[in-house]
Chains A and B, each alone.
Chain A
Amino acid sequence: MNELKENKRPLEEIAEDMKVLEDLTKAEYKWGFVTEIESEVAPKGLNEDIIRLISSKKGEPEWMTEWRLKAYRHWLTMEEPKWPNVSYPPIDFQDISYYSAPKKRSQKKSLDEVDPELLKTFEKLGIPLEEQKALAGVAVDAVFDSVSVATTFQKTLKEKGIIFCSISEAIREYPDLVKKYLGSVVPYTDNFYAALNSAVFSDGSFVYVPKGVRCPMELSTYFRINAKETGQFERTLIIADEGSYVSYLEGCTAPIRDNNQLHAAVVELIALDYAEIKYSTVQNWYPGDKEGKGGIYNFVTKRGACRGKHSKISWTQVETGSAITWKYPSCILQGDYSVGEFYSVAVTNNYQQADTGTKMIHLGKYTKSTVVSKGISAGKSKNSYRGLVKIGKNATGARNFTQCDSMLMGDKCSANTFPYIEVENDTAKVEHEATTSKVGEDQIFYLNQRGISTEDAINMIVNGFCKEVFKELPMEFAVEAQKLLAVSLEGSVG
């Protein structure tokens, strides 16, 4: 059982990687600017008319409107979950606007038609949307408040038969695929926020990779909340057909605002026989200020179904933002020999709260899952890992390995681990390891003694602690993640 071997790499490669640490920035939340742009905002509150309005704004077919309304009616019968280890004042769902879109915008076709203000915004966020400026090998769908404003490299992808577009476009253009898969992994009855999302979801990304195709570039969605007092409810649906492969990345930021804003997304992944989906998130919603004012409530349902045999779904997440994070990217391992993975770094500082983890549901034979969770808490924050490993009756030979490590900085924060294990098949093997450590004074002194400042020493120790997760991220995003960690933990020791 050594799933987590240190990978040996040539020295040259390591020397290159080292630039990464040198880049550690020391800025405060620097994505907090507001874009001045005229938006069309739906009146606050939620009712059937608002849902019809959203649906018609998006030019949706009748079946979609009906689906939303059914979800809404179901939502009305549900209650907000109270079990996560987080606390916040009650949310007034009638005091939120459920739709906001930049105004000056016809049906988007080419970038020339996108408001230059928006292009500038994304450029400022480090996401240039002009293809010639874009990161090589990454196609981007840029979502601003409730709508997708641009999707790059669509043509290149289409040549391989890959569909990468906003979910609104998919509903119009590929209704059969959407009908077949939307809600098939996360039904609207699943939970309170999934139901809400199903009723009001605004935009998000849609990916379909056809049989036997290996997606030649990283697909990425960048979510930006800009408008005040609006919620963002994005919906992502990724389908990897037999023998295909896709790597998908998601990033998110929001301006600094005094009030809390709600973000309730649903992500569904479907992997058929021998298909593989790698889903990476660098979540950096505005976390609130040092006194705990403002920040995003990030209540997200992410779930992947390994429907086919030998399929694989891998979640990697770096969670540094949000006032409250409530999120359990999960895998349903239906196909025999399918594989689920979850690699997570969750950082909380000041008054942030995170209750995050995963569910690995083993249904097929010889299914295998790996969970590596790294929680870092600083300030007065609360950081909980909550994980379920379930081995069904028929999951002969299923295996799970879970490792949960927590690191505490200072003595006002807390870390908790809530592992739930349910095994219904005797041949299964489930292993769980958990550790809690403090950033050691002796480690810091050792690095100090070599000329490294305390701030940099902590970054180094923390990055080392997270290495097993970072190495799962594509290189550019690993760099981004390390920088984010440095910013999030700014001033946490002193």
Chain B
Amino acid sequence: MLIIKNLHAVVEGKEILRGINLEVKPGEIHAIMGPNGSGKSTLANVLAGNKGYEVTEGEIWFEGKNLLDMEPDERAKEGVFLAFQYPVEIPGVSNATFLKTAINEKRKYLNLPELSPKEFLDMMKEKAKILGMDESLISRSVNVGFSGGEKKRNEIFQLLMLEPKLAILDETDSGLDIDALKIVANGVNVFHKDDNAVIVVTHYQRLLNYIVPDFVHVLYKGKIVKSGGKELALELEEKGYDWVTSNELETQSI
């Protein structure tokens, strides 16, 4: 589904990603962990096509197509979804208007008929229920005046509405209380099927108790320095990042 080869990316003249290799197959869940500033959000943004990040080397293939050739909205319509670490507020635009437009743009792209208002409304109610979201949040402006937790929940609501092929969740767990964490994780599990994939960026092993990854990768200074199964997350929690990064540090200081 997703193949990343030797990916290098630069932000404001500084190289942040320094040769990432990663393959994600349908049905898989990958967790990406790593210290602050290691490049996790950068990777997520590069996948989504944020123009603030310049790819200087490498390739990204998504479902056999060259992702780097596509505009951000095209990538989204192809099925790449990013749940933002910091969701943006859009005053005056209701969540409902925004989502209806997004869904119908995607359906148009896929040569599917538009949803009728009724179909859309029913779908919204159903998904909101999964996330225990108050319906009033749907008629409010996108993320405006939402609490930190509500914003994160709203990202997963959008995930359920848009049903992408690849979901990249950037620290969706941060800012959630314990109950909300379970609800949101459940939402992700409802979404996850054999034919789609999830990349979870997180600092905390706790989320991975609910969203169980097939692989865990440690990103450090723009490279994946260690990969393993779900037990790697537990080990990391116990031993800290020094344990995996010390080798890297040594090679760097030479």
Contact with A along B213-225 (1 / 0, CB 8 A): 0000000000000
Interface residues of B in 89-133 (CB under 8 A from A): 90-94, 96-102, 104-106, 109, 114, 117-118, 120-121, 124-125
Interface residues of A in 1-30 (CB under 8 A from B): 6, 8-12, 14-19, 21-22
Contact status A449-B141, CB under 8 Å? no
**Total residues of chain B contacting the partner, CB 8 A:** 47
CA distance in complex: A193, B124 (Å): 54
CA distance in complex: A8, B134 (Å): 13
Closest to B102 in A: A450
Contact status B138-A11, CB under 8 Å? yes
CA distance in complex: A332, B178 (Å): 58
Contact status B141-A6, CB under 8 Å? yes
**B73 proximity list for chain A (CB < 8 A):** 448-449, 451-454
Contact status B76-A449, CB under 8 Å? yes
CA distance in complex: A445, B82 (Å): 11
Contact status B88-A18, CB under 8 Å? no
Most central of B73, B114, B117 by chain A CB within 10 Å: B73
Query: A6-B140, A460-B93 given as contacts; is B120 within 8 A of A447 (CB)?
Result: no
CA distance in complex: A321, B92 (Å): 23
Q: Which of B81, B82, B98 contacts A460 (CB 8 A)?
A: B98
Is A474 interfacial (CB 8 A cutoff)? Answer: no
CA distance in complex: A482, B129 (Å): 32
Contact with A along B175-197 (1 / 0, CB 8 A): 00000000000000000000000
Contact with B along A418-452 (1 / 0, CB 8 A): 00000000000000000000001111011111111
Most central of A12, A18, A461 by chain B CB within 10 Å: A18
Contact status B88-A440, CB under 8 Å? yes
**Total residues of chain A contacting the partner, CB 8 A:** 37
Contacting chain A: which of B32-40, B43-51, B54-62, B235-243? B43-51
Is A44 interfacial (CB 8 A cutoff)? Answer: no
Is A74 interfacial (CB 8 A cutoff)? Answer: no
Is B146 interfacial (CB 8 A cutoff)? Answer: no
Contact status A448-B71, CB under 8 Å? yes
Contact status A452-B139, CB under 8 Å? no
Closest to A467 in B: B92
Closest to B94 in A: A14
Interface residues of B in 57-86 (CB under 8 A from A): 71-73, 75-77, 81-82, 84
CA distance in complex: A445, B53 (Å): 12
Contact status A450-B98, CB under 8 Å? yes
CA distance in complex: A49, B247 (Å): 98
Is A465 interfacial (CB 8 A cutoff)? Answer: yes
Is B158 interfacial (CB 8 A cutoff)? Answer: yes
Q: Which of B76, B91, B136 contacts A8 (CB 8 A)?
A: B136
CA distance in complex: A456, B118 (Å): 23
**B84 proximity list for chain A (CB < 8 A):** 446, 449
Q: Which of B71, B98, B121 contacts A11 (CB 8 A)?
A: B121
CA distance in complex: A15, B77 (Å): 22
Closest CB in chain A relative to B123 CB, distance in Å: 11
**A21 proximity list for chain B (CB < 8 A):** 97, 100-101
Closest CB in chain B relative to A3 CB, distance in Å: 16
**A16 proximity list for chain B (CB < 8 A):** 117
Contact with B along A79-111 (1 / 0, CB 8 A): 000000000000000000000000000000000
Contact status B88-A442, CB under 8 Å? yes
Contact status A18-B117, CB under 8 Å? yes
Count of A-B contacts with CB under 8 A? 118
**A453 proximity list for chain B (CB < 8 A):** 71, 73, 105
Most central of B71, B88, B141 by chain A CB within 10 Å: B88
Is A185 interfacial (CB 8 A cutoff)? Answer: no
CA distance in complex: A461, B87 (Å): 15
Closest CB in chain B relative to A14 CB, distance in Å: 5
**B81 proximity list for chain A (CB < 8 A):** 449
Closest CB in chain A relative to B53 CB, distance in Å: 11
Closest CB in chain A relative to B190 CB, distance in Å: 19
**A11 proximity list for chain B (CB < 8 A):** 96, 121, 124-125, 135, 138-139
Closest CB in chain B relative to A217 CB, distance in Å: 27
Is B211 interfacial (CB 8 A cutoff)? Answer: no
Is B229 interfacial (CB 8 A cutoff)? Answer: no
Contact with B along A179-203 (1 / 0, CB 8 A): 0000000000000000000000000
Contact status B92-A15, CB under 8 Å? no
Closest CB in chain B relative to A464 CB, distance in Å: 3
Closest CB in chain B relative to A338 CB, distance in Å: 29
Is B162 interfacial (CB 8 A cutoff)? Answer: yes
Contact status A464-B91, CB under 8 Å? yes
**B88 proximity list for chain A (CB < 8 A):** 440, 442-443, 445-446
CA distance in complex: A15, B117 (Å): 5
Query: A11-B135, A441-B52, A448-B76 given as contacts; is B71 within 8 A of A468 (CB)?
Result: no
Contact status A22-B104, CB under 8 Å? yes
Closest CB in chain A relative to B202 CB, distance in Å: 20
Contact status B77-A451, CB under 8 Å? yes
Closest CB in chain B relative to A106 CB, distance in Å: 49
**A54 proximity list for chain B (CB < 8 A):** none
Is A466 interfacial (CB 8 A cutoff)? Answer: yes
**B106 proximity list for chain A (CB < 8 A):** 451
Closest to A12 in B: B121
Most central of B49, B51, B114, B117 by chain A CB within 10 Å: B117
Contact with A along B142-173 (1 / 0, CB 8 A): 00000000000000001000100000000000
Is A121 interfacial (CB 8 A cutoff)? Answer: no
Closest CB in chain B relative to A478 CB, distance in Å: 13
Query: A451-B109, A451-B162 given as contacts; is B97 within 8 A of A18 (CB)?
Result: yes
**B82 proximity list for chain A (CB < 8 A):** 449
Query: Mind listing 27 A-B residue pairs with CB under 8 Å?
Result: A6-B140, A11-B135, A11-B138, A11-B139, A15-B120, A16-B117, A21-B101, A22-B100, A22-B114, A441-B52, A442-B88, A445-B52, A445-B72, A446-B90, A449-B73, A449-B75, A450-B158, A450-B162, A451-B73, A451-B77, A451-B105, A451-B162, A452-B73, A453-B71, A460-B97, A460-B101, A464-B91
In the A-B complex, list the 9 residue pairs whose CB atoms are closest, starting with the nearest: A464-B92, A467-B92, A464-B93, A15-B117, A448-B72, A451-B76, A450-B102, A446-B88, A448-B73
Interface residues of B (CB under 8 A from A): 48-52, 71-73, 75-77, 81-82, 84, 87-88, 90-94, 96-102, 104-106, 109, 114, 117-118, 120-121, 124-125, 135-136, 138-141, 158, 162
Question: What would 11 more interface pairs be, CB under 8 Å, given A18-B101, A21-B100?
Answer: A14-B97, A18-B117, A441-B52, A445-B88, A449-B49, A456-B101, A460-B98, A461-B93, A464-B90, A464-B141, A466-B92
